[in-house]
Amino acid sequence: MAIKPPILKQGDTIGIVSLGSPLEKNTINTGIQTLNDLGFNVVLGNYVYTYNGFLTGTDEERATDLMDMFSNDQVDMILPTRGGIGVKGILPYLDYSIIEDNPKIISGYSDITVLLNTLTQFSNLITFHSLLLLNFTYNTAAYNYDQFFVATSTVISPRQLQNPPNIPQISRVPGNVTGPIVGGNLTSFIGTLGTPFEIDTTGKIVFIEETNEPINTVYRYLNSLKLAGKFEDCIGIVMGECTGCANSYGESYEDLINEFLVPIGKPLMTNVTTAHGFYKATIPIGATVNLDTENNRLTILESAVSV
């Protein structure tokens, strides 16, 4: 059974880290102020504001910042500033036994995907495919905050994962399967194939979303997953949005789903609002979910945090 981190409460301390690409100082400060306004304390890693080309600090420095947050008894949750690129560079420098012994909520998406799934695989920790620091602003949709705080600050279960009104989730292949959910940003976890941190989909429901990639590139990445056996090993597929993904050779994202994923024959749900889209569902990576595409329901069967 996966380890559930302690529940997030008002007045708790959130540790801010930059684990991939740098983020503008003003955006970081806005996020910190928003967290303070929501009633949380904030502590900063040493490299939060650092610019080192397209990264914030070296791989070892960024890994040290993350490990310091897991080791700090005063920190209740860890929140990366953004994803970008480079997060997988920190993975060899993490102490997964220390993380397992000090479970904490960690949230994010985009390139943080590789960290979320690695912590689930190597530290047996439920992680949260959800908001980054850059999303804590005055104009973030209420749906996004509701999703985040229901998942991290309550033990409500089971809980049906629903899109905002008038945005339907679409079941494409009928079936009913139950298992842990893994995945996230397609580009990010494709980059782990052939490494010790390759995503494990065996007996799991795999969740995929993407942004700003042409459809022929999305096809290339999906085909890589297929050739690596990830669709053969999984029991079901949940597709999020492909925001800003341009058609290629007259083919759209919907065409690709129908022509590539539907024939795989696994229970398939699409159009789940997540991550790079305006609306962001919170998906607890490693938690047990039920994918019922006969009744068009995706249900998180257990609380993702502990009291």
Do 135 and 245 lie in one domain? The reply is: no
Question: In angstroms, what is the C-alpha Rg of the chain?
Answer: 18
Kindly name the residue from 110, 123, 130, 303 that is annotated as catalytic: 110
251 given a catalytic annotation = no
Order across the sheet with 77-80: list the strands.
Answer: 41-44, 13-17, 77-80, 105-108, 127-129, 283-285
Do 234 and 271 lie in one domain? The reply is: yes
What CATH number should be reported for the domain holding residue 180? 3.50.30.60
Share of the chain above pLDDT 90, in %: 99
Kindly name the residue from 18, 123, 188, 209 that is annotated as catalytic: 209
Rounded alpha-carbon distances, angstroms, from residue 161 to 122, 240, 294: 26, 12, 16
Do 27 and 128 lie in one domain? The reply is: yes
Do 171 and 137 lie in one domain? The reply is: no
Q: What is the DSSP letter of 274?
A: B
Phi, psi values for residue 86, rounded to 5°: 95, 0
In a domain, 7, yes or no: no
In a domain, 64, yes or no: yes
Check residue 1 and give its pLDDT.
83
In a domain, 106, yes or no: yes
In a domain, 305, yes or no: no
Confidence of residue 107 (pLDDT cuts 50, 70, 90): very high
DSSP assignment string, 197-213: TPPP-TTSEEEEEEES-
Q: What is the pLDDT of residues 9-34, one digit of tens each?
A: 999 999 999 999 999 999 999 999 99
Q: If you average pLDDT over residues 61-68, what whole number do you get?
A: 98
Q: What is the pLDDT of residues 241-257, one digit of tens each?
A: 999 999 999 999 999 99
CB 170 within 8 A of CB 274: no
For the chain, what is the domain count? 2
Q: Partners of 44 in the beta sheet?
A: 16
- Provide CB contacts within 8 A for 79, sequence distance 6+: 14, 15, 16, 17, 35, 106, 107, 108, 131, 132, 133
Q: What is the pLDDT of residues 69-103, one digit of tens each?
A: 999 999 999 999 999 999 999 999 999 999 999 99
Kindly name the residue from 21, 129, 276, 303 that is annotated as catalytic: 276
110 given a catalytic annotation = yes
Do 80 and 188 lie in one domain? The reply is: no
Do 103 and 53 lie in one domain? The reply is: yes
- Provide CB contacts within 8 A for 161, sequence distance 6+: 272, 281, 283, 289, 298, 299, 300
Residue type, 224: S
CB 148 within 8 A of CB 130: yes
- Give the separation between CA 241 and CA 229, rounded to whole angstroms: 23
| pLDDT for residue 285 is more than 90 | yes
- Give the separation between CA 168 and CA 303, rounded to whole angstroms: 24
Single pTM value for the model: 0.97
Do 63 and 142 lie in one domain? The reply is: yes
Lowest-pLDDT choice from 51-55, 183-187, 271-275: 51-55
Instruction: Kindly state the tokens that stand for 146.
Output: 């509701």
Confidence of residue 177 (pLDDT cuts 50, 70, 90): very high
- Give the separation between CA 218 and CA 248, rounded to whole angstroms: 10
In a domain, 4, yes or no: no
Check residue 9 and give its pLDDT.
98
Token pair 């684990």 in the structure block, residue:
19
Q: Which structural domain, as residue segments, surrounds residue 289?
A: 159-300
What are the helix (H) ranges across the chain?
A: 25-37, 59-71, 96-101, 113-123, 142-153, 186-190, 215-227, 230-233, 253-256
In a domain, 70, yes or no: yes
Last residue within a domain, chosen from 153, 178, 208: 153
Do 193 and 293 lie in one domain? The reply is: yes
Instruction: Kindly state the tokens that stand for 218.
Output: 């999305």
Do 44 and 171 lie in one domain? The reply is: no
In a domain, 148, yes or no: yes
CB 40 within 8 A of CB 58: no
Do 190 and 109 lie in one domain? The reply is: no
In a domain, 1, yes or no: no
| pLDDT for residue 173 is more than 90 | yes
Last residue within a domain, chosen from 123, 153, 183: 153
Last residue within a domain, chosen from 91, 121, 153: 153
Do 143 and 272 lie in one domain? The reply is: no
Q: For residue 277, how far is the Cα from the chain centroid?
A: 13
What CATH number should be reported for the domain holding residue 86? 3.40.50.10740
Share of the chain above pLDDT 70, in %: 100
SS3 183: strand
Check residue 166 and give its pLDDT.
95
Do 171 and 289 lie in one domain? The reply is: yes
Report the DSSP pairing between strands 159-160 and 236-243: unpaired
Mean pLDDT of the chain: 97
Check residue 130 and give its pLDDT.
98
Q: What is the pLDDT of residues 118-145, one digit of tens each?
A: 999 999 999 999 999 999 999 999 999 9
